[in-house]
Chain A
Amino acid sequence: NAGVTQTPKFQVLKTGQSMTLQCAQDMNHNSMYWYRQDPGMGLRLIYYSASEGTTDKGEVPNGYNVSRLNKREFSLRLESAAPSQTSVYFCASNTYRVGATDGYTFGSGTRLTVV
């Protein structure tokens, strides 16, 4: 039972390069999320997908785009990377329905450095 799988685990980009962070879950969860973690700033929501076919902006969406490819996969794309996007990126998923949830299951993260 793999849970939430993120690839790659590490990446170094040059300013202006693009890349896609991949996330897949095998728990049949309906909702998926992308967070970034920066020292002293906790986890901030970038984008989320409440269900297959829908995506919405979170707290810090600028410079990112997402695709909910199917129920299992939710990718995050940086079109033109900037040093301010150096961070650790976490994908998470959960089963959500109005009035109930089971909490998040997180992936192990992608450590991204933009130089």
Chain B
Amino acid sequence: QQQVKQSPQSLIVQKGGISIINCAYENTAFDYFPWYQQFPGKGPALLIAIRPDVSEKKEGRFTISFNKSAKQFSLHIMDSQPGDSATYFCAASDLYDTNAGKSTFGDGTTLTVKP
């Protein structure tokens, strides 16, 4: 049972355009939703994260939109640049899991930004 579903699998955007990646989750206990960015040959790196007490969080050109009732969240990359070309993973975790703050990941989206 996949608890975090991510789409699309791949995305091609022109430079200056908006990239949108979507994730849906099933476990209503999830209360922490990070996005990670991974360049080829590197480990994923935390990009931005949101808690369900807010519907949107913005950091520079990156914005997370969160819809608690629909159990969905998305990453928006404004003014996409070729340097944004990478694989993006959404994740979710239950911060009141007393055992550990382990995350469940989506399958990833490969973003290509064409110059």
Using a CB–CB distance below 8 Å, which chain B residues touch chain A?
6, 9, 32, 34, 36, 41-46, 49, 89, 93, 95-96, 98-108
Residues of A within 8 A of B106 (CB): 42
Residues of B within 8 A of A109 (CB): 41-43
**Total inter-chain residue pairs, C-beta < 8 Å:** 67
Name 10 A/B residue pairs within 8 A (Cβ), A-sorted: A42-B89, A48-B102, A50-B99, A90-B43, A96-B100, A98-B96, A101-B32, A101-B93, A103-B46, A108-B41
Interface majority SS (helix, strand, loop, mixed), chain A: strand
- Is B101 a contact of A94 with CB atoms below 8 Å? yes
- Is A99 a contact of B96 with CB atoms below 8 Å? yes
Cα-based distance from A107 to B102 in the complex (angstroms): 16
- Is A50 a contact of B44 with CB atoms below 8 Å? no
**Chain A: interface residue total (CB-CB under 8 A):** 30
Let me know if A100 is at the binding interface, CB within 8 A: yes
Shortest beta-carbon distance from A48 to chain B in Å: 5
Shortest beta-carbon distance from A60 to chain B in Å: 12
Cα-based distance from A56 to B98 in the complex (angstroms): 13
Cα-based distance from A17 to B89 in the complex (angstroms): 32
B3 to A, closest residue via Cβ: A59
Cα-based distance from A71 to B101 in the complex (angstroms): 16
Residues of B within 8 A of A100 (CB): 95
Residues of A within 8 A of B46 (CB): 103-105
B106 to A, closest residue via Cβ: A42
- Is A106 a contact of B43 with CB atoms below 8 Å? yes
B6 to A, closest residue via Cβ: A42
